[in-house]
Amino acid sequence: MDRNQVRADFFKNGFYGPFKVYDEAEARDMLGIIRRQSQDVSKAIFQNDCNYDRHFDIDVLAKHISNPIIAEHVKAILGENLLCWRTEYFPKFPGSKGTEWHQVERFQYTTGNPQLQPMDGKPGDVPFELTVWTTFTESDIENGCMKFLPGSHLRKYYDESIVPKTGRGSSYSSIESETSFFGYNFSEFKVDPNWEPSEEDAVSMVMRPGQAVIFTAKCVHGSHPNTTKNRTRFAITARYVAPDVMVYPNQHEFNEHGGHFDLKQYGTVLVSGADKFNVNRRRTESNTGYQFSSQG
């Protein structure tokens, strides 16, 4: 991996990839394990349909978040010290809608309260959060691959501080909703209501099983619909921050995407370096007893 190339491409576009994390055969084997073990939620830290943070009860995912290839790519941008603050997956089944264009940073669109907050209160030139999206199936335009607007991370097109009419509290419908953003209508967050993302400028991230793309949520992104009849797209999202970013500041629970999240068992996971700030709850092992590993 060429760190300089990763940084150059990332800071130009807001994303980098795809890059190989696993051999295709290994990715398919992992997918089988994840699918089977996902059915048992007895040790999951959250009881809902969102599949948040299943690395606390599925060992394959516990190992995945500290994968050295992933860690090296994230370190190239955020630095040597890294926390994983969330994993999630929403399989895109045949016939599913595309996820509408969106842009976030502090992940406050769901409740109005920032889920991420830099200690100094201000974001710098380097994003304070990164997402690594790893696919375990083919991911192409037909089955709903991701798409990005290059360079859109440099400008605010959506404002998370706006109070939406759709999605929060009793206005939430369901993940299979009338909107294409898991029960929220993200167009309500537009800074300019008349602005429309350019589909012509979009980059569709066509990927093979075992490949990943790294991006900042500040980069406007979405996905194509799954127009196939029998091809599910399945990917794992792992999200990272540096240790000086507060995760769920002053929060003990929250509601989003139609689910309730009690943070009693929650903790960030150190995946690289050290945490000298100690502003976040941390966990060193999963609910299965898996010992999380750290790079460096």
Asked if residue 286 is part of any domain, the answer here is: no
Asked if residue 284 is part of any domain, the answer here is: no
Check residue 110 and give its pLDDT.
78
Asked if residue 214 is part of any domain, the answer here is: yes
149/222 Cα distance (integer angstroms): 9
281/236 Cα distance (integer angstroms): 23
Asked if residue 283 is part of any domain, the answer here is: no
67/62 Cα distance (integer angstroms): 9
Asked if residue 137 is part of any domain, the answer here is: yes
User: What length does the chain have?
Assistant: 296
What's the per-residue H, E or C state across the chain? Answer: CCHHHHHHHHHHHCEEEEEECCCHHHHHHHHHHHHHHHCCCCCCCCCCCCCCCHHHCCHHHHHHCCCHHHHHHHHHHHCCCEEEEEEECCCECCCCCCCCCECCCCCCCCCCCCCEEECCCCCCCCCCEEEEEEECCCECCCCCCEEECCCHHHCCCECCCCCCCCCCHHHCCCCCCCCCECCECHHHHECCCCCCCCHHHCEECCECCCEEEEECCCCCEEECCCCCCCCCECEEEEEEECCCEEECCCCCEEEECCEEEEHHHCCEEEEECCCCCCCCCECCECCCCCECCCEC
The total number of structural domains that make up the chain: 1
Asked if residue 279 is part of any domain, the answer here is: no
| Domain range enclosing 127 | 3-272
Check residue 184 and give its pLDDT.
73
Q: Please report, for residues 20, 52, 105, 237, 247, the alpha-carbon distance to residue 115 in angstroms, rounded to integers and kept in the order given.
A: 30, 14, 9, 16, 6
Please give the chain's pLDDT, 296 residues, in tens: 889 899 999 999 999 999 999 999 999 999 999 999 999 999 999 988 889 999 999 999 999 999 999 999 999 999 999 999 999 997 899 998 888 999 998 988 878 789 999 987 655 667 899 999 999 999 999 999 999 999 999 999 999 888 877 766 655 555 445 545 666 778 888 999 999 999 999 999 999 999 999 999 999 999 999 999 999 999 999 999 999 999 999 999 988 877 889 999 999 999 999 999 999 999 999 999 999 988 66
Check residue 259 and give its pLDDT.
82
Check residue 257 and give its pLDDT.
79
Asked if residue 99 is part of any domain, the answer here is: yes
Q: Is the dihedral of CA 121, 122, 124, 130 positive or negative?
A: positive
Check residue 175 and give its pLDDT.
47
Identify the CATH number of the domain in which residue 240 sits.
2.60.120.620
Asked if residue 179 is part of any domain, the answer here is: yes
**Any residues with CB less than 8 A from the CB of 266 and at least 6 apart, and which?**
45, 53, 248, 281, 283
